[in-house]
Structure formats: structure tokens, C-alpha cells
């Protein structure tokens, strides 16, 4: 790959700045598990290492972006991933089957140890969750990306980050990297009290856990998270607030409508993503279609 000929683009977008770098999107990294850390009973951190991380990893600050992770086949063990050929074509190598992949938000990059950390929800089904539950040192993965770094704006005095457990890596990054002079409120829906984590940062943080096993779901609401959001008091001046929200796709739609129509936030102040859809396996969050203006 001739990296010097690959285009680079940096420009403004509605939430701050988009840095799009084809070099990052096309880089395929062969990594292996250094260790697995059980953060909670249902949450596991996989720490990855590899020679290809010796030059670093392009993780921008305050940009909870994702990478594409390719997993070994659960039965054959074949780790199939796309590779660029000398003639410029991309072909799948590593086996006869199709690539098995999912997108994950990077939880952390340690530039000194050259370690890349990804967090997995252990929900008992799905190849990624099953793989993570059994992962041990030496197991292999292929990671490519990030294709773009969405830099969240850093000029707001108040931030609201909310989502379910699938959004925890992004929410944790926002808490850890928000400007020190800012105030961050986080509403996180989790199965029960045993899934709480310690999340800290330089900013003033109001962290509220919403326990799915006991938190109320008001009539007409799709989730306990929506009920908790409506119980939260927004700032008197909505122009001082920026919001990031992610989780189950259908549950995110009324949350976005509430933020836009009732709280009075502009499109530039709200980022909402659907990471998964109830009853749909292999859901691609790019197809979430939450933006209803």
C-alpha cells in the first residue's frame, strides 16, 4: 500500500470536527490477546497487543470512535479478514468462509505499553460475546480502523452522556476526556447493581446508574433509561448542553425526540446512535436510522 497517495481529509461537521483518514481505514492489524480482565460479572476487557502497534494507534482524544473487529469462526477457527493485494484489490484471506466481524468502540489505548483495550458485554449469545467469554492470552483477532475520528466539541460547559451497557466504552471515554472545566452527567442503564463500574475524569461528574431489574419504566416509555432521562433536569439554557446517547435502536428514537423537541436542543447538540436492535442478530449500527429531525 502506497500510504503517501492515500487521501486525508480534515474539516468541520455539525458536532465539531471530522478527521477522515483513508490510511487508518485501510490498515489491517493482526493482534493477539495479552490478557482478559473481568470488570464486572457481565463485562470483560480484552487487552490486545501486536508488533503492528509499535508505531502507535490513531486514537483521537474526545472521539469515541469504533474499529472493526474480525473474529475466528466459532467452529473452524478460521480467522478470515480482507487484505489488500499487490494489484490493489481487496480479497478475503485466512479461510474459505466469509469474514465474521463487529464494530466496537475503543475503550483505551496505552501508548507506553502499546496495548489496545476493547470491552465486551457477556450476554451469553452471539459469537463476539462467546469469544470474549473464553478469550485467553495468545488468541488472535484482526482489527482495522478507525476509519474516522469524530471529535466531539469541547466548548460546551455541560455534557450529558447516556446509554445502556453497550455504550459504556463511549460514555467512559467521554467522562475520562471531557474538559476539566466542564460538568458531565451520565445516565447508564445496566442489568443490576453488580454491573456498576468506576468511571472518573478531570471534569465534574454526576454518574447515575439505572438498574434495569428495579428502575421504573413509566407508562408509554420504551426503557428505564428514557424514564430516568425525563426525571433529569436539563439546564435552564439548553444552548450550554451537548448530548451523546447510544444503545438499543428503538429505545433511542424517543430519547432523541425528547431531546430535540422538548428540551429544545439543535441537531448540532445531539449525537444519538443505535448500537443494536432487539431481536436482530448481526445488526449494523450504520443502519440505525434514528435521525428524525
Please give the class, per CATH, of domain 153-287: alpha beta
Q: Which pLDDT tens digit goes with each residue over 185-195?
A: 999 999 999 99
Mean pLDDT of 192-202: 96
pLDDT of residue 292: 56
Confidence band for 7, pLDDT divided at 50, 70 and 90: very low
* Least confident piece of the model among 19-23, 38-42, 118-122, 136-140: 19-23
The 3-class secondary structure across the chain, one letter per residue, is CCHHHCCEEEEEECCEEEEEEHHHHHCEEEEEEEEEEEEECCEEEEEEECHHHCCCCCCCCCCCCEEEEEECCCCCCCCCEEEECCCCCEEEECCCCCCEEEEEEEEEEECCCCEEEEEEECCCCCHHHHHHHHCCCCCEEEEECCCEEEECCCCCCEEEEEEEHHHHHHHHHHHHHCCCCCEEEEEEEECCHHHCCCCCCCCEEEEEEEECCCCCCCCCCCCHHHHHHHHCCCCCCHHHEEEEEEEEHHHHHHHHHHHHHHCCCCHHHEEEEEEEECCECCCCHHHCCCCCC
Q: Which fold has domain 3-149?
A: Elongation Factor Tu (Ef-tu); domain 3 (2.40.30)
Output the pLDDT for position 141.
Answer: 97
pLDDT digits (tens, 9 = 90+) for 156-167: 999 999 999 999
CA distance 190 to 171: 13
Write down the domain spans for the chain: 3-149, 153-287
Q: What is the pLDDT of residues 257-291, one digit of tens each?
A: 999 999 999 999 999 999 888 755 554 544 445 56
Q: What is the pTM of this model?
A: 0.86
Amino acid at each position: 500500500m502506497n500510504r503517501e497517495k492515500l487521501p486525508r481529509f480534515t474539516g468541520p461537521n455539525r458536532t465539531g470536527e471530522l478527521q477522515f483518514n483513508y490510511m487508518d481505514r485501510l490498515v489491517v492489524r493482526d493482534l493477539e490477546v495479552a490478557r482478559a480482565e473481568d470488570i464486572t460479572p457481565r463485562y470483560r476487557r480484552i487487552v490486545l497487543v501486536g508488533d503492528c502497534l509499535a508505531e502507535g494507534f490513531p486514537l483521537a482524544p474526545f472521539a469515541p470512535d469504533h474499529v472493526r473487529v474480525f473474529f475466528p469462526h466459532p467452529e473452524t477457527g478460521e480467522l478470515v479478514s480482507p487484505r489488500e493485494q499487490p494489484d490493489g484489490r481487496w480479497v478475503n484471506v485466512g479461510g474459505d468462509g466469509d469474514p465474521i466481524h463487529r464494530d466496537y468502540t475503543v475503550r483505551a489505548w496505552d501508548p507506553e505499553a502499546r496495548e489496545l483495550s476493547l470491552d465486551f458485554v457477556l450476554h451469553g449469545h452471539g459469537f463476539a460475546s462467546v469469544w470474549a467469554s473464553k478469550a485467553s492470552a495468545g488468541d488472535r483477532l484482526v482489527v482495522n480502523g478507525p476509519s474516522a475520528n469524530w471529535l466531539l466539541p469541547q466548548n460546551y460547559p455541560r455534557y450529558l452522556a447516556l446509554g445502556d451497557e453497550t455504550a459504556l466504552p463511549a460514555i467512559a471515554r467521554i467522562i475520562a476526556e471531557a474538559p476539566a472545566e466542564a460538568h458531565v452527567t451520565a445516565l447508564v442503564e445496566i442489568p443490576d447493581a453488580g454491573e456498576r463500574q468506576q468511571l472518573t475524569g478531570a471534569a465534574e461528574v454526576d454518574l447515575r446508574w439505572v438498574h434495569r431489574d428495579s428502575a421504573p419504566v413509566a407508562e408509554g416509555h420504551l426503557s428505564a433509561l428514557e424514564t430516568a432521562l425525563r426525571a433529569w433536569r436539563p439546564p435552564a439554557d439548553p444552548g450550554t448542553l451537548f448530548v451523546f446517547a447510544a444503545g438499543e435502536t428503538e429505545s433511542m428514537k424517543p430519547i432523541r425526540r425528547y431531546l430535540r423537541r422538548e428540551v429544545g436542543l439543535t441537531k448540532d447538540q445531539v449525537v444519538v446512535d443505535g448500537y443494536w436492535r432487539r431481536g436482530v442478530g448481526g445488526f449494523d449500527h450504520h443502519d440505525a436510522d434514528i435521525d428524525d429531525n
